[in-house]
Structure 1
Amino acid sequence: MEMTPAHWVYLAGLASLIIVMIARKNVVVPAIAATFLTAATFTGSVPGGVASVFRASLVAASELFNIFLIIALVTAMLAALRVIGAEHRMVAPFRRLMVNGPVAYVVLFVVTYVFALFFWPTPTLALIAAILLPAAIRAGLSPMLGAIAIAIAGQGMALASDYVIGVAPGLSASGANVSADLIADRALILSWVVGLVAMVMSYLLTVRRRRPSLATAAEGSPEMSIAHRTELAPVGAAAGSGSGCTSDQLGHALATKQPPREALEDGAVSTEAGLDDGPTDEGGRDRRAKLFAVLVPVAFGALLVYMLLGRFTDLVSVDDGAGAPLVGGLAALLLLAVAVTSDRVRALESCAEHIVDGLSFAFKAMGVVIPIAGFVFIGISDFSGRIMGLAEDATAPGFLFDAIRSVQEHIPNNPFIIMFAVLLAGMTVGLDGSGWAGLPLTGSLSEALSPHSGLDTATLAAIAQNGASWTGGGTLVIWSSLIAVATFCGVSVVDLARKLFLPVVTGLVLSTVVAAIIW
């Protein structure tokens, strides 16, 4: 395969993105610059390169908008549940199960995983830290082990597969050109391997240290978690004038790297917002909270069962890729139900406000992916022609695939080596601290390497997705959402990352070995 100057420009841009990610800097600028230079070099036209920058983001946005929409709808539903206090009631019953430290560790791990799988780790974090973590500490679990359980289950295992909502598999599939459901199935199994290995290893390596007793963890001491200190005050005081924001707002602020008060002013949803029924309707609000605390988990649980039956049996028929639309549609209907029953005459306005806030959050959280995906897409022949405005009968270049084909005789023809190379690539792009920004890139890399290695593209994409998510999602690097976990649990983020490093990396290595054996 003949390499043109445009191929080399694209590869140089790809290298610059990886270097910037390793340096923990924002990759939007190099992505836009690399897109312009690649298009201008290939077309020989500066105006063509300028137009390609816009078209690249437009193509990426059109391909990924379904992901933004599902984030918006789920976030809007959670905001509506938060207004009536239903999200707290969903996890409160699990407090009774925490009879001692080891049991509390397992309960905290399982509950965090289940809720993060359906509602994502960041919204779940504030909820778990405020309700379950204090109970776990009272049962004898150290704040550090609590932080480890939350990080592995939520920021790691749930995020790595994103099996229910399907954002991560969708991003990987956008570059890999394979079914998102197929990537999700493989990523789920790999995430279980990593999570269980990391969970057991972390406990065994940490439990030997003497845990501070509850008596010595007095309020204001380093050992006392934020969640535990919050429990000492009345529940309603969390949003009082003393703190300036709720625990949910603090989680949003930490996840978006904003000061808590700025996050409150910038659209974070307060638990006080929308409670306009007045004190005379406390009983009705409590009944609605109980109703939706049961209805929402049951509805999503039934949806998950339906999706699993459609994937693995012939009892029901579920179209490929129907998971995300089903989750988004169910979230929208539940949002409508909460708004109508809770806000009454303001239901139309409050429902629209929640959706607008959800869209705002979605673009703040994932907007950086669009220019990066645009650069990745210009290297894929299915999109490059549209991006650079080529004629319909013209041969569209695939810069990344052409480059790999040109050197494929020098690539070791060893599937095991290629699997670990893809894992390393995923961990590298995850160093930016987001975990998902580079998934279109690792997906396209998996598709390019698949024919040479004889491996399934979905398997390689799932391995890379796990590497990126576990690294940048919030378990290995301290500039990720791991800082939110550490802050809520009242532990050092550096110490937390250090304790997670060996168990998580061991789990990633073993999961790659498992992938080599079963696929």
Structure 2
Amino acid sequence: MRMEVQLGSVHAVYLFGVVAIVLSMVLRANVVVPAILATFAVAATFSGSLTGATIAVFNGSLVAAKELFSIFLVIALMTSLLNALRALGADQQMVRPFRRVMTNGHVGFLVVAGVTYLISLFFWPTPAVPLVAATLLPAALVAGLPPMGAAMAIAIAGQGMALSSDYVIRVAPGISARAAGIPDAAAMVADKALVLSLITGAVALGLGYLAVRAQIRAPSQRHLDRWQGGASLADSLAGQRETVAPKIGSFDKSVLALQAAEGVEGEAALAGGGTLAAAPAARWCGVLAIATPVVFGALILFMLAPKVFPGLPELKGGDAAALVGGTAALMMLVASFAADGAKAMHTAADHIIDGLVFSFRAMGTVLPIAGFFFLGAGEFSGAILGLPAGTQGPDLLFEVIRAFDHLIPQNPTVVAFAVLLVGMITGIDGSGFAGLPLTGALSGALGPVAGLHPSTLAAIGQMGAVWTGGGTLIAWSSLIAVAGFCRVPVLDLARMLFLPVCAGLILSTLLAVLLF
């Protein structure tokens, strides 16, 4: 027998807050302000106290920080490792062998996509884009790949496939799972997101390749000379930022990527002059260029082994992310001592500080947004509203869904595409991750209604949000950085990506309903 749920004014205020946040995303406005105001309004309506509502604004971000800090720390440690590798020049050494493989533009398309995917899987696309642009892009252009083809390969493989699954660092699956009320199922969300990202990416890369195939030319140095004769990297990126949008998403990832590019190019110049590192450091450069992908590849195999051999112990909860973060920290120390010797006692700490700064810069705006959506879940709302310990808080979003579940189609396909659409709408602001608390919360509430596991819906919503806002469909996202590095018009790039990416998302959502 269906239990009736009585809705009150606090439910109406909470729904109004959800609508305000979604509209802000559609209008490309920053969603932090409406999230904070909505948290204040809901808490004031619930408690009738302005003091309590003000405290709830702080508690919302605090609760979100407690739940998500492990994610911030993993990002920081992985970034510190990349900075340490960059000081040695090992980051470029890792990808240099792939330049010899690109014998023609067709192979170049696959190599650029594959290397971008691998680097983005471990370090996120922000540093991957400038690294590939500085190291592989010139070779791909000489091989005959047009700049638009290279831009599509980088965007689909990095901002799309790698970032949407986030299988190694596991920021996105962690946020989605916690918002859905299944924090222990983050690994399940990650596994499903990996499958969906590979399906979406395979379709998008296939259609993208067909779109540029006729433009691939015979190998020639003239292709690179013509490309280099265009605008400079910084001028191209800056001009596109001014033309397309004065404000880019929540993270301003194009700026971060440009800064990373300048660092890569500067170090490449030093390396060319032979003054980058002493001989011992140069030897360590080669060792770490091999050891880093081998170690993290072994970690992936270790995480996947229990799924192939069921008898093996499986990592629980956040152990997978902790293992990645701990490995990154230890390898960062090795790279720091290799590059700086005794000075590494100071530079290693600097790398960690830089990583933490980057982490909060990239993800800090998620906290007040997640705090608002955590307010709609009974597991967290009590702490946010300041209720006594052990007191069950209001389950606002779930109660609203239960009140109207008779109006929601019971067809799992309809619900799956609805969550995908919500995810794509939340990605319109150009950040990709800001909408994950909403898609996760909806997945936890709608999963039982639709007969789908919440982890499946969370993975679908994650696909929509990250593929859209992460940098494949929205011109004011970090897609601007990709276009700037490849020196192609960002609006043309977004148009070229639209049909391949949307086709991939539709197919992966259909298969998710059938497979999961």
- TM-score by structure 2 length? 0.90
For 1:22-77, what per-residue CA distance to the aligned partner results, in whole angstroms no more than 9, with x for missing partners?
11111111000000000010011111100000011100000000000000000000
Deviations 1:271-318 (A, max 9, x none): 49x99xx95962222111101101111111111111111344245323
Q: Equivalents in 2 of 1:259, 1:209: separation in Å?
A: 28
Matched letter for residue 183 of structure 1: V
Whichever residue aligns with residue 458 of structure 2, its letter is A
Whether 1:443 aligns to 2:460 is no
Instruction: Work out whether residues 277 and 339 of structure 2, in 8 Å CA contact, stay in contact via their aligned partners in 1.
Output: no
2:409 aligned to 404, 408, 412, which one?
A: 412
Which residue in 2 is equivalent to 1:11?
Answer: 15
Distance (whole Å) between structure 2 residues aligned to residue 390 and residue 282 of structure 1: 60
Rate the CA distance shift 1:108–1:440 in 2: closer, same or farther, 3 A.
same
| Structure 1 unaligned spans of 5+ | 230-252
CA contact (8 A) 1:116 1:124 kept: yes
Indicate whether 1:474 and 2:467 are aligned: no
Is 2:303 the partner of 1:300? no
For 1:96 and 1:225, the matched residues in 2 are separated by 26
Give the corresponding residue for 1:110.
114
Shift of 1:185: 0.6
Between 348-357 and 394-403, report the one with greater CA deviation.
394-403
Is 1:172 aligned with 2:176?
yes
Q: Which residue of 2 aligns with 1:203?
A: 209
Distance 1:263 1:49, change over 3 A: farther
Q: Are the aligned partners of 2:105 and 2:217 in contact in 1 as well (CA < 8 Å)?
A: no
In the alignment, structure 1 residue 2 sits paired with structure 2 residue 6: yes
Q: Which residue identity is paired with 1:290? A: G
CA shift in 2, pair 1:214/1:23, >3 Å = farther
Residue aligning to 1:123: 127
Equivalent residue letter for 1:471: T
Letter of the structure 2 residue corresponding to residue 437 of structure 1: A
Distance 1:411 1:55 in 2: 33
CA contact (8 A) 1:309 1:315 kept: no
* Percent identity over paired residues: 51
Alignment partners' CA distance in 1, 2:142 and 2:266: 28
Q: Where in structure 2 are the equivalents of 1:416-495 lying within 5 Å?
A: 416-495=413-492
Matches of 1:409 and 1:181 in 2, distance apart? 31
Query: Structure 1, residues 425-461: CA drift from partner, whole Å, max 9, x if none?
Result: 1111111111011112111100100111111111000
- Give the SS at the match of 2:6: coil
Q: What is the aligned partner in structure 2 of residue 151 from structure 1?
A: 155
Q: State the match for 2:247 in structure 1.
A: none
1:7 offset after TM fit, Å? Answer: 0.6
- Alignment match, 1:247: none
Aligned residue number for residue 240 of structure 2: none
2:48 counterpart residue number: 44
**Aligned equivalent of 1:78:** 82
Q: 1:280 to 1:426 in 2, by over 3 A?
A: closer
Counterpart code for 1:340: F
Equivalence for 1:288: 284
1:203 Cα deviation (Å)?
Answer: 1.4
Report the CA distance shift for 1:193/1:367 in structure 2 as closer, same or farther (over 3 A): same
Size of the aligned set, in residue pairs, is: 491
The Cα of 1:398 is off from its aligned counterpart by 1.0
Q: Is the 8 A contact 1:89 1:293 kept in 2?
A: yes
RMSD over aligned Cα atoms: 2.6
Q: Residue 192 of structure 2 aligns with which residue?
A: 186
Partner of 2:242: none
**Which whole-Å CA distance do the structure 2 matches of 1:208 and 1:22 have between them?**
36
How far is 1:209 from its partner? 4.4
Distance 1:282 1:263, change over 3 A: closer
Match for residue 344 of structure 1?
341
Q: Which residue of 2 aligns with 1:139?
A: 143
State the alpha-carbon separation in 2 of the partners of residues 21 and 326 from structure 1.
34
Asked if the contact 2:71–2:171 (Cα under 8 Å) also holds between the matched residues in 1, the reply is yes
CA drift at 1:205: 2.0
Q: In the aligned structure 2, how far is the partner of 1:259 from the partner of 1:338?
A: 22
Q: CA deviation at 1:127?
A: 0.8
- The 8 Å contact of residues 254 and 483 in structure 1, kept in 2 or not, is answered as no
> 1:2: Cα distance to partner?
0.8
Q: Is it true that 1:504 corresponds to 2:511 in the alignment?
A: no
Structure 1's 97 and 379: CA in aligned 2 closer, same or farther, altered over 3 A?
Answer: same
Matches for 1:181-260 after TM superposition, within 5 Å: 181-209=187-215, 215=222, 218-219=225-226, 226=233, 255=253, 257=255
1:241-293 deviation line (CA, Å, top 9, x unaligned): xxxxxxxxxxxx972547968998xx999749x99xx9596222211110110
> Which residue matches 2:28?
24
In 2 relative to 1, CA 268–50 (structure 1 residues): closer, same or farther, beyond 3 Å?
A: farther
SS in 1 for 2:433: coil
In the alignment, does 2:391 pair up with 1:387? no
Please state how far the C-alpha of 1:207 moved relative to its aligned partner. 2.2
